[in-house]
Structure 1
C-alpha cells in the first residue's frame, strides 16, 4: 500500500512564478513524483499522479492525501483518482498536510533561496538537482532512522 501526500507550491523567478507539484511517500518521505509548471491548472496535478503511478508501478491500494485546493477537488482530479482512496485536510487545518508543506519549505530554504532564479528552465534544473541528486538519495531524515529516503526503502525491501 502506498500512502502519499500531495501539494503545490510556488517558486519565484525573474520571469514570474513557477509551480511545483509534488507527491511524497509518507513511509520513506521520498518524493516519488514532481511536476513543474507555469500555471496552476489541474493538468499539472494529474501529470504528477500519472508519474507517481508509473514510477511505483502501482497495483496495490493507494491513498492520496491533499489539501482542498481547487485542483484537488476538480472533476478531472476525481476522475483520475477514482480507483484511489482520496483524503483531504479539514478546512482551515493545514497540519494534516504538514509533511509535504514542510518539504516545500525545505527545498526553498535549503536550496532554491540560494539562487536568483531566472526562468522556468533554470527552476527545472535546480529542482531536478535537489530532488534527484540530493533529497531522495543523500539527505537524511530522522523519520527514516537517519537514512536517506532511497536507503530507507532499500532496507525495507531487503527485510521483506
Structure 2
C-alpha cells in the first residue's frame, strides 16, 4: 500500500476532497499545520511526501489523534530498521484506544514515519506511560542512552487531531 501526504490551508485541502470524492482521504491538524493523508496506489496530490507501507495494522478513521514519529534512517540501516518493526511484539495494537499503525518508508529522503492513530490524546499518553511502551522501546526508545547505528539524525514527533472537512 502506498501513502502520500501534503500540507496546505484548510480551503486548499477541502478542494482536494471535492476534486477526488471517492478517494481515501483523511485530514489532520495541529495548531498551525493542516495535512491531507491518502492511502492508495497512486498519489492524488500535486506536491506530496510519498511512502511505501512496510507494515500496517488497523483501519484509518476520520476521527482520532495522530502521532507521527519521524525517524531518519541511514541507507545501510533500512533493512535492520524495517525488520525491527516487522517483528515487533505488537503491544501497541492491544492498547485501549489504539486505532491504527503505519510504518512508512519514504520514496525520497531518509525519514521514515511511524504513524499511530488513537481514539484521543489521553489514550496515547496512557500508552506512552505504560510498561508495554517501555518494553517496546527498550532497544532504541526515548530513554535509551545510545542511538542505534541505523539512526541517521535526530528523530522528532508531530501530533495532530483528525478533522472532518465536510461533516
What is the TM-score with the length of structure 1 in the denominator?
A: 0.27
- TM-score normalized by the length of structure 2: 0.27
Answer 1 or 2: which has greater helix percent.
1
| Higher RCO, Cα 8 Å, sep 6+ | 2
Q: Which has the higher strand share?
A: 2
